[in-house]
Amino acid sequence: MGINEGDKAPSFMAKTHVGETIKLSDFSGKKVVVLFFYPKDDTPVCTKEACSFRDAYEDFTAAGAEVIGISQGSEEQHQAFASKHRLPFPLLIDEGNNLRKAFGVPKSLGLLPGRVTYVIDKEGVVKKRFSSQFGSHQHMEEALTCVKDLVNSSGE
């Protein structure tokens, strides 16, 4: 089924590529959270997606949002990917695809891990769900538009 717009985001706790632990509740009442699930480190479309979030990262943080990438790779793989592409945001290690399962991120073409981005407001409600396996740059654009709309509607 999956998590959709209007649903409460599932709580989670996961390790980042630098060994820190992040919980969704860390941002509750403080920041909008942009979670982007991507299939694999250092593949062409995933790299374009991560770099588009990197290039717009200051826009996200200026609007009061935190960007977090999620994929199944190991800590070492994520470290290498983040370092190589100068990614300023955390990459969560999705051991056993537990986060992907909790959010109901579907497989694409029946076998590839799906590419889905969620924008979660400060109360933990999903305000945007965007899925496109090949529209890598579109994920960032859709998320940034939603974040700016949330900030404008809340008067912050």
- Expressed in percent and rounded to 5, the helix, strand and coil fractions of the chain are 40, 25, 35
Tokens 């109901």 -> residue: 104
CA angle (103 as vertex; 113, 3 as ends), nearest 5? 120
Per the annotation, the verdict on 46 as an active-site residue is yes
CA within 13 Å, CB half, 87: 30
Q: Could you say which of 46, 91, 144, 150 is catalytic?
A: 46
- Do the beta carbons of residue 100 and residue 70 sit within 8 Å? yes
Alpha carbons 114 and 38: distance in angstroms, whole number:
7
- Kindly list the catalytic residues: 46
